[in-house]
Amino acid sequence: MKRFLQTMAVFCLVAAVSIGFANAQSKIAFEETQHNFGSFMEAAGVQTTVFKFKNTGTAPLILNNVKASCGCTTPKWTRDPIAPNGSGEITVSYNPANRPGVFTKTVTVTSNAENSTVVLTISGSVEQREKTLAEKFPREIGPLRAETNHISFAQLKQNAVETKELELVNDTDNPVKVDLQTVPSHLTVKVEPTTIPAKGRGKMIVTYDAKKADTYGFASHRIYLSIDGSKDYKNSVGVSATIEEDFSDLTPAQLANAPVAKFNALDYDFGDMKQGDKKEYTFNLTNDGKSDLQIRNVRSSCGCTAVAPSKKVVAPGETVPIKVTFDSRGKRGRQSKSITVITNDPKNPTSTLRISSNINAES
């Protein structure tokens, strides 16, 4: 009997210890879960803070993962198991480079603790640094710098005359003389001053005469400069505009009697083609209006697509073919090209036709 009681006592002790181990649990307790860096300059560089924590549980604490919400935030943390009553820390760094403005980022901490997921938050406000001259004027035109090497006049009515300026910066230690090599006839260009002093600034003044351009739709050109006598054609500025016919003065009666452009289809798929093959498709354009329809311009998005309208003036009720030839030479895979047709239809002056194909390259 005595031996039985001793055995039972040992059994109960072992069971109690086992239950104690089974109920042991780590718990992570942070001193703080949020940190505000306040306002700081972007030039101040990476900002860092440390989140300290303690294992207030009864079992070792293991951090399984510490993940930031974005690549601009880098966490480092205690990798070894932390005994009960032990301490650890998570270092969180924020990189403000090219990230001006207010920010709020999170770091998610997962562990074997009773509270297995804890979210830490960092916040602050980054004051943008002063940009360098090269950043403000990234385009190089010979020894000069500019914010862009392209002047866009966007949309211009056919009789419009518009002027824009491009600032030129000389960041060198020598004066730079600027002359004009070639200028399209519909553009008037001046450079003031013609010699831009060292560390000085000038401007290019460009006037676009849409009537002289004598075209419709998107048009692009280049102004070639002579820098200090050099004829390098890399020293140029692009100019573009989309020229539209002006229908604003048409009376209700004129609109009622206007031409109407109507196509039999707006897209066509050639299907599968062997690389190098050519295929043709003919779109039909009908004038559903009451006066002559004039085809102002026809342009394809790629030199691989040839477009040939049979005539430029379409009488009321008349239908004319517009033949499109697609050359698959040098192409492979899925191809999609567009053809822009501009007419004097006041309600629908620009129509876009599309052709497509799947090019199988020869093995």
**CA–CA gap between residue 329 and residue 361 (Å, rounded):** 10
Q: How would CATH label the architecture of 133-244?
A: Sandwich (2.60)
What pLDDT tens digit does each residue of the chain (363 aa) get? 555 545 554 444 444 434 444 468 999 999 999 999 999 999 899 999 999 999 999 999 999 999 999 889 999 998 999 999 999 999 999 999 889 999 999 999 999 999 999 999 999 999 988 888 898 999 999 999 999 999 999 899 999 999 999 999 999 999 999 999 989 999 999 999 999 999 999 999 999 999 999 999 999 999 999 999 998 989 999 999 999 999 999 999 999 999 999 999 999 999 999 999 999 999 999 999 999 999 999 999 888 888 888 899 999 999 999 999 999 999 999 999 999 999 999 999 999 999 999 999 865
Domain range summary for the chain, segments of one domain joined by +: 27-127, 133-244, 252-360
Report pLDDT for 308.
84
Enter the tokens of residue 85: 């009553």
Report pLDDT for 268.
96
DSSP 289-355: SSS-EEEEEEEESSTTEEEEES-SEE-TT-EEEEEEEEE-TT--EEEEEEEEEEES-SS--EEEEEE
Residue with tokens 């849409």: 210
**CA–CA gap between residue 117 and residue 277 (Å, rounded):** 62
Beta strand 261-263 with 278-287 is antiparallel
CATH class of 252-360: mainly beta
Phi then psi for residue 149, to 5 deg, are: -110, 30
**CA–CA gap between residue 262 and residue 352 (Å, rounded):** 12
The SS3 of residue 220 is strand
**CA–CA gap between residue 89 and residue 81 (Å, rounded):** 12
DSSP 4-54: HHHHHHHHHHHHHHHHHHHH----EEES-SEEEEEEEEGGG--EEEEEEEE
- Considering the four listed CATH numbers 3.30.70.20, 3.40.50.450, 2.30.30.90, 2.60.40.10, the one that applies to the domain covering 27-127 is 2.60.40.10
Distances (CA, A) of 134 to 131, 140, 142, 182, 262: 8, 9, 14, 27, 51
Q: Report yes or no: 156 and 243 within 8 Å, Cβ to Cβ.
A: yes
Q: Report yes or no: 90 and 111 within 8 Å, Cβ to Cβ.
A: no
Is there a common fold for 27-127 and 252-360?
A: yes
Report pLDDT for 98.
87
pTM of the model: 0.67
Report pLDDT for 196.
97
Report pLDDT for 39.
95
Residues 6+ positions from 8 with CB-CB distance below 8 Å? none
